Amino acid sequence: MKTVRDIPVLENVPVLVRTAQMTNDVRMREALRTITFLTERHARVVLVTHVSGESTAGARAKGDGSAAYMYEGLKKFIPGISWCPVTIGPEARDAVRNLLPGQVLMLENVRRNAGEEKNDHEFAKELAALADVFVQDSFDTCHREHASIIGVPALLPSYAGLTLEKEVTELTKALKPARPALAIIAGAKFSTKEPVINALLERYDHVFVGGALANDFIAAKGYSVGASLVSKEGQEHIRALLKNPRLVAPVDAVVALPNADRSQGRAAALTDIRSEEAVLDAGPKTAGALVELVNTSKTVLWNGPLGLFEQGFTDATDVLARAIVNSHAYSIMGGGDTIQVAEKAGVLEDFSFVSTGGGAMLDFLAYGTLPGIKVLG
């Protein structure tokens, strides 16, 4: 995989950089590594990114979903950065032409264009026309087959940014972990987690399932999960996974009414979940068993909080996070929610590596590459 270090000429060259969605200072500082590399070599840097939303089409219709807040945040890191309120067209082309060597321009949210998520060839051509070189530095979207991810690289000389290079290097290590190795996969939607669970069971000594995902496994064991969130499909596959001795599921839970906060939760055996209650966190026995596994592991991989942290159910997650950073294991964690709870617990910087990807991280671990990486050659 070629990186920005392999670009032969950068002086006064317009370079289109696909960045991650920079929702906080952590992500902005990470993006700065590639941006600074390019500006120090007097490239004319054009940033394009996305803004997530439940419905991009709806966001376009309402006129929201602007990337302007990222531009405002970047001002404190990049003096003189300029803003373009569109992504393509005459205004964007003029803004790029007006850039001086070493300057940075940020374009509007690429997903405001309907052609982005459709990987429309004409849209990709217009985006590619803004630059002579393309740099992919958005690992967190490399699992998407969008125009700015796979369309543009097919039209321009393309390279990996420094963040993407680091992600690939570190997650490739996770594919061949030092043993014993523990993987912790949480979240929801069994169908989206099944490929990575299968892949990790071949490489890791223990694979723990947590979060709402664990409800599917508890139910497959024959226990009632009350009013918990469960997947409607995949029970046969889940029962098959439970036969694998490397698969670890919760042995107890913290339960409460679905909309309750942490103060209303109670620890419960799996046989004691009432019909009106929902599983909202891993129980203390489960957390204790996880700590023991962490302490005997040389590699710990973690993606996803163990509880419904939005409602304050973070006890098991906090115990797990502190156990990992206090262990001697090489620790890899990722996913926006996981990063958020680790940051709140004050332990984020103590992990060996923090991935910027959630779904992208899981897909990379499942398949060993991603569409946005393969297209770079």
Measure the CA–CA gap between 280 and 314, rounded to whole angstroms: 9
Whether the pTM exceeds 0.95: the reply is: no
Statement to judge: residues 39 and 151 lie in one domain: yes
Statement to judge: residues 153 and 220 lie in one domain: no
Residue 185 maps to a domain: yes
Statement to judge: residues 27 and 151 lie in one domain: yes
For 120, residues 6+ apart whose C-beta sits below 8 A from its C-beta are 114, 147, 151
Three-state DSSP state, 45: strand
Beta strands at 330-334 and 353-355: parallel, antiparallel or unpaired: parallel
Strand partners, 105: 46, 82
Residue 352 maps to a domain: no
Statement to judge: residues 112 and 222 lie in one domain: no
Beta strands at 252-256 and 266-269: parallel, antiparallel or unpaired: antiparallel
Residue 98 maps to a domain: yes
Among 166, 188, 207, which residue terminates a domain? 166
DSSP sequence for 308-323: -GGGT--HHHHHHHHH
Statement to judge: residues 8 and 108 lie in one domain: yes
Residue 216 maps to a domain: yes
Residue 187 maps to a domain: yes
Statement to judge: residues 195 and 150 lie in one domain: no
Q: What is the pLDDT of residue 356?
A: 86
Statement to judge: residues 284 and 139 lie in one domain: no
Measure the CA–CA gap between 132 and 155, rounded to whole angstroms: 10
Q: What domain count does the chain have?
A: 2
Among 166, 189, 211, which residue terminates a domain? 166
The pLDDT tens digits along the chain (377 residues) read 999 999 999 999 999 999 999 987 878 988 999 999 999 999 999 999 999 874 445 444 444 699 999 999 999 999 999 999 999 999 999 999 999 999 999 999 999 999 999 999 999 999 999 999 999 999 999 999 999 999 999 999 999 999 999 999 999 999 999 999 999 999 888 999 999 999 999 999 999 999 999 999 999 999 999 999 999 888 899 999 999 999 999 999 999 999 999 999 999 999 999 999 999 999 999 999 999 999 999 999 999 999 999 999 999 999 999 999 999 999 999 988 999 899 999 999 999 999 988 899 999 999 999 999 999 98
Measure the CA–CA gap between 136 and 144, rounded to whole angstroms: 13
Among 166, 196, 230, which residue terminates a domain? 166
Residues 254/307, Cβ–Cβ less than 8 Å: yes
Q: How far is CA 100 from CA 11, 67, 87, 150, 210, in A?
A: 10, 23, 19, 28, 50
H and E: helices and strands count for the chain: 15, 15
Statement to judge: residues 38 and 109 lie in one domain: yes
What domain range includes position 84?
4-166
Statement to judge: residues 116 and 207 lie in one domain: no
Whole-angstrom Cα Rg for the chain:
22
Residue 362 maps to a domain: no
Statement to judge: residues 193 and 339 lie in one domain: yes
The CATH number covering residue 14 comes to 3.40.50.1260
Statement to judge: residues 162 and 220 lie in one domain: no
Alpha helices in 153-266 (DSSP H): 162-175, 190-203, 212-220, 235-242
Statement to judge: residues 117 and 205 lie in one domain: no
Residues 150/371, Cβ–Cβ less than 8 Å: yes
